[in-house]
Amino acid sequence: MRAIKTLFAGCAILLVSAAGGALAETRPACKTPTPGSSRAPLVSPPIEYAVIGVGRLPFYSAPDVRCPMPGVFVIPKDQLIVYATTDDGWAQATYFGGGGTAGWVKSARLKYLGEMGPKQ
């Protein structure tokens, strides 16, 4: 009986491991589009925005909700510089406070403040 329990436990671990591997393979690669491409046209000049709404606005490594940057976020009234946008509501942005960070945020949570220089 003990041998059967041990065999069953080993099979369960093997199945969980196999399922984890399958999930890792089906998860999309978090590839960011090239700024300036048709997928993410450059904003010229870069534009300053303020975060609006309630709560944290998370950063993503690519414009995809499946690609969060854990623990990286801005809050209302923080200011970002946007360099590129997508047609489906994402902005490639940099936040310079607290050591700075760059990534993608949902543009619906941004309020236009102004241009950051001459048009290129």
The tens place of each residue's pLDDT in the chain, 120 residues long, gives 444 333 333 333 332 333 333 333 334 578 888 877 888 888 888 899 999 999 999 999 999 999 999 999 999 999 999 999 999 999 999 999 988 999 999 999 999 999 986 665
pLDDT for 32 equals: 83
Question: In angstroms, rounded to a whole number, what is the distance separating the alpha carbons of residues 118 and 115?
Answer: 8
- Other C-beta atoms closer than 10 Å to the C-beta of 32 total 18
What are the residue ranges spanned by the domains of the chain?
42-115
pLDDT for 17 equals: 32
pLDDT for 8 equals: 34
Q: Find out whether 69 and 59 touch, Cβ atoms under 8 Å.
A: yes
- Other C-beta atoms closer than 10 Å to the C-beta of 30 total 15
**CATH code for the part of the protein at 42-115:** 2.30.30.40
Q: Find out whether 84 and 40 touch, Cβ atoms under 8 Å.
A: yes
Q: Could you please report the per-residue DSSP string of the chain?
A: -HHHHHHHHHHHHHHHHHHHHHHHHHSPP-PPPPTTSSSSPEEEEEEEEEE-SSS-EEEESSSSTT-EEEEEEE-TT-EEEEEEE-TTSEEEEEE-GGG-EEEEEEGGGEEEEEE-S---
pLDDT for 28 equals: 58
